[in-house]
Amino acid sequence: MKKKIISILSITMCSVLLLFGCGSKKKDTIIIGTEAGFAPYEYMKGNEIVGVDIDIAKAIADYLGKELVIKNMEFDSALMAVQNGTVDFVAAGVSITPERAEEMDFSIGYVEAADEVVVVNKENPTVESIEDLDGKIIGVQQGNVADFWVEENVDAKEIKRYSKFGQAAEDLKNGKIDCIVMDYYPAKEMVVANPELTVLDGVLFKDMYAIAVKKGNKELLETINTVIEQLKAEGKIEEFLANHTSE
């Protein structure tokens, strides 16, 4: 009889707790996928991943009252991860393109009109200007919008695709490629770290960055847009950029 009473009490308690979430563990984390080789947006500082995108991601997590979990992976893998739900969102200098918009949903832009530029070897430039790309070996990050732009707009001798811009910088210094096409701010940080390199004058095209979520995740997308709008209104995006760029 005692066991029966305990059993009934247990069932009753569980029924009450179920009303408040018992039986379905509340998710108290939110996962960002990123590629920490794209300073100032995401990069390594010691053993920590930091950057503009990480600051935005932390603001999103704070708004939701969740702990931010950062997953560092290759750029293409991050985009795949958000599509299959392995991560909640991707912030990795992701450009909005019609092709990507078919596979994932995008927030409003947080860095608008980002300039795409050309990086060359300062001591031995084999590319003289941004109009001098035809017939050259051009380095890009695989899956980056610059990859698609070069393929569609340049008659390159070869497009060499890298998972990390650091690898491209080393090959440029060693004469294995003629130039790198990339975003201005990461290019600026690259030449600070590699004084053998320089950024050519001029802009190839302008780009826009946004945060990607799984297709149909409207609730999270609305939250992210709210946070981005607030950060932009308060001038925080510019502040983040200033904090993560070299003078």
Distance of CA 110 to the CA centre of its chain: 12
Average of pLDDT values for 32-38?
95
With 0-12 / 13-18 / 19 or more C-beta atoms within 10 angstroms meaning exposed / middle / buried, residue 24 is exposed
Say if residue 247's pLDDT is above 90.
no
pLDDT per residue over 191-218, tens digit each? Answer: 999 999 999 999 999 888 999 999 999 9
Angle between helical axes of 52-64 and 236-243 (0-180°, round to 10): 130
Percent of the chain with pLDDT over 90: 79
pLDDT for the residue numbered 27: 76
Q: What is the mean pLDDT of the chain?
A: 89
Distance of alpha carbon 109 from its chain centroid, rounded?
A: 12
Please write the tens of the pLDDT for every residue from 62-85.
Answer: 999 999 999 999 999 999 999 999
Contact 137, 121 (CB under 8 A): no
- Backbone phi, psi, residue 243, to 5°: -70, -25
pTM over 0.85: no
**pLDDT above 50 (res 7):** no
Region 221-226: mean pLDDT is 98
DSSP string of 157-173, one letter each residue? SEEEEES-HHHHHHHHH
**Residue of 139, 158, 147, 163 whose CA lies nearest to 77:** 163
Dist. CA 116–CA 89, nearest whole Å = 24
Q: Judge whether residue 20 has pLDDT over 50.
A: no
pLDDT tens figures, 99-118: 999 999 999 999 876 799 99
At how many degrees (to 10) do helices 52-64 and 218-233 cross? 120
144-167 per-position pLDDT tens digit: 889 999 999 999 999 999 998 999
Residue 68 has what pLDDT?
Answer: 98
